[in-house]
Chain A
Amino acid sequence: MRSYLARRLLLLVPVLVGVSVVVFLVLHLSPGDPAEIMLGSQATQEDLARLRRELGLTEPLHVQYVHWVAHVARGDLGRSIWMKRPVLDEVLNRYKATLVLTASGLLLSTVGGIILGVASAVRPHSFLDRMSAVTSLFGASMPVFWLGIVLMVVFSLWLGWLPASGMWAPYGEGGLRDLLAHLVLPAVTLAAASLTIIARLTRSTMLEILSQDYIRTARAKGLVEQRVVFRHGLKNALVPIVTVVGVQAGYLLGGAVLTETVFAWPGVGLLMVQGILARDFPLVQGCVLVIALTFVLINLAVDLLYAWLDPRIQYE
């Protein structure tokens, strides 16, 4: 296991190089002059030339990339043109909020999806199972940003039960209670689509496992149904569930951009969108890099979880 971990960490290097190349190229190979995009069509030639020099755009592309990677390796993501502050400080400041939102969404969708999936598999074609099928179809078709607005209208504006936006109340002491109240709607919005996907996968995997011989043996031994379902059934269904949870974690990170915009949640996604609209390339680059790195690390964690969940999986 330890040698596998070391090998996986080594394999991270080419992936990170690939990710950094894409992040760099996406913003530098696009048609159009970044300096012109940032300063607008009214900018003078002198201003444009000065900004190009400041951004290092006069250098060949590979030199620009090496400079950028060297800065990134030193923890320097550049300076935000819009906020006039180091990008890393601002991104890390917002990163906590994104992590809180994404982790809550992932927890909600995983726990809810597994409970719903197991319940559907234990009683296939029941009312709950049919409702779960309809919900999953709706979940795959509903725009996440619209669901967020609908929840906001119902639970904040009409019923007044929960705050509509932000992470903390503007006037107050803050605290966990305040955070949780603000977190409910964004987390539910973010989790909805993933929950339905995890529920359907859990259902189909559990149905397959519950029809295996060893489950029949467990029942024949006289084990209580709860133990058969959870100890013998769910435990063996966990590997495919973990795979889909890992994939969903990536979707949640992407979906967080939309959810943060709807609920004015002060995370990296909202910062990135603000950066794009302000034409602040260093800021956008920093945000994309941080989210992409998180995604890569989640994939690594999922791979390591496989070995822990199912010792038969060998990494040679």
Chain B
Amino acid sequence: MSKRWGRNQLALLAMIVLAGVVLAACLAPYLPLADPDAVDTVQRLRPPFTLGHLLGTDEFGRDLLSRLVWGARVSLLAGAATAAAAMLIGVLLGVLSGYYAGWPETVIMRLTDILMAFPYILLAIAIVAGLGPGLRNAMIAIAIVGFPIYTRLVRGIVLSVRGREFVEAARALGSTDRLILARHIVPQLLSPVIVAFSLDVGAKILATAGLSFLGLGTQPPTADWGSMLATGRQFVILSPHVVLLPGLAIFVIVLALNLVGDALRDFLDPRTYSS
């Protein structure tokens, strides 16, 4: 009991951090921050706590605090949007392949098998190679490689639910497939999918940051945590803070998302609770 309370406190702290970062990202245009793209070469690579630049400046003299806050908008939005897209595609295909046996199931499951025959990030990189570097293309690539996990999860649940008595009863009462899916099957998917989604947003933020770090995601001068890390890497000897701060931002936000996701799983599905 005390351990669960300790975990809850940790999850609460994570939720506060998460809410703070989301709020700062949403309110970025209204906060008293310097222009994130304003170049000031005289002030380049200033260390943290420099007058007028709380977290210092980057290689172009741009304010790091401002770029981190504006970068949060891009990184959070990219993570949430790619996870949402992967979830939507995955759930749709999972429901179709689980409910309708026959060719839809075969086609969809073979497609997911093939996509899962590749290391995750490798396939995303290959898709970006085809589409061309850029944030939008990186997001498309990550959503494509991310959906098979949802498809497998949802298909498993639908397969176990579709033969249950209440579904049989609804069918015997003359319900159409659409009604059975909407009223009896989809509600069963909600909590596992919400849990999977909450844990997936962090993974997607890491993946988009990874592609941006490789130069395949966000393009300069747009601020994004992954690309800030990539460009700052060349100055790591002179000014490690240029690299350490964006990385720390990614780490903290993903850690907070994982803690909140874990707490949500314990809450929505207490059977899976474990140490």
Residues of chain A having any CB pair with chain B under 8 Å: 15, 18-19, 21-23, 26-32, 37, 124-125, 133, 137-138, 140-146, 149-150, 152-153, 157, 204, 250-251, 253-255, 257-258, 261-262, 272-273, 275-277, 281, 284, 288, 291-292, 295-296, 299
Contacts and interface: CB of A to CB of B under 8 A. Distances in A.
B56 interface: no
B243 A284 contact: no
Given A145-B213, A149-B229, A273-B214, A22 B255 contact: no
Contact of B122 (A144, A253, A277, A281): A253
Interface magnitude class on chain B: 35 or more
A146 B210 CA distance: 10
B47 interface: no
A137 B130 contact: no
Nearest to B205: A143
Given A22-B114, A145-B213, 4 more contacts: A22-B118, A23-B126, A141-B254, A254-B121
26 contacts: A18-B117, A22-B123, A26-B127, A31-B131, A137-B255, A141-B255, A141-B258, A143-B209, A143-B210, A143-B247, A149-B233, A150-B247, A153-B236, A157-B240, A250-B119, A253-B122, A255-B121, A257-B121, A258-B213, A275-B129, A284-B126, A288-B125, A291-B119, A291-B122, A292-B117, A296-B117
A273 B114 contact: no
Given A19-B114, A32-B131, A276-B216, A142 B251 contact: yes
B259 A137 contact: yes
Nearest to A153: B240
B275 to A, nearest CB: 7
B255 A276 contact: no
A149 B120 CA distance: 22
B255 A138 contact: yes
B118 A19 contact: yes
A22 B255 CA distance: 33
Contacts of B226: 143
A157 B243 CA distance: 14
Contacts of B130: 26-30
Given A272-B125, A288-B122, A292-B118, A133 B275 contact: yes
B119 A254 contact: yes
A261 B126 contact: no
B274 A204 contact: yes
A257 B117 contact: no
Contacts of B146: none
B274 A157 contact: no
A17 to B, nearest CB: 10
A81 to B, nearest CB: 13
A55 B118 CA distance: 25
A162 to B, nearest CB: 15
A21 B240 CA distance: 44
Contacts of B209: 143
Contacts of A152: 236
Contacts of B229: 143, 145-146, 149
B48 interface: no
A148 to B, nearest CB: 10
A18 B123 CA distance: 13
Contacts of B131: 30-32
Given A250-B119, A288-B122, A27 B258 contact: no
A295 B214 contact: no
Contacts of A157: 236-237, 240
A262 B215 CA distance: 12
Interface centre among B113, B210, B255 (most CB of A within 10 A): B210
A143 B120 contact: no
Given A18-B117, A146-B251, A258-B214, A292 B122 contact: yes
B90 interface: no
Given A15-B117, A150-B244, A204-B274, A143 B206 contact: yes
Interface string B243-267: 1100110110011001100000000
Given A22-B114, A273-B214, A146 B250 contact: yes
Nearest to A204: B274
**Closest 6 pairs between A and B when the two form their complex, measured CB to CB:** A146-B247, A254-B119, A30-B130, A141-B255, A254-B121, A18-B114
Contact of A295 (B117, B236, B240): B117
A242 B236 CA distance: 38
B128 interface: yes
A257 B120 contact: no
Interface in B95-151: 110, 113-115, 117-123, 125-133
Nearest to B259: A137
Nearest to A255: B121
B202 interface: yes
A150 to B, nearest CB: 7
A26 to B, nearest CB: 5
Contacts of A251: 119-120
B130 to A, nearest CB: 3
A157 B233 CA distance: 13
A14 to B, nearest CB: 9
Contact of A137 (B121, B129, B243, B258): B258
B266 to A, nearest CB: 14
A257 B215 contact: no
Interface in B41-92: none
Contacts of B258: 137, 140-141
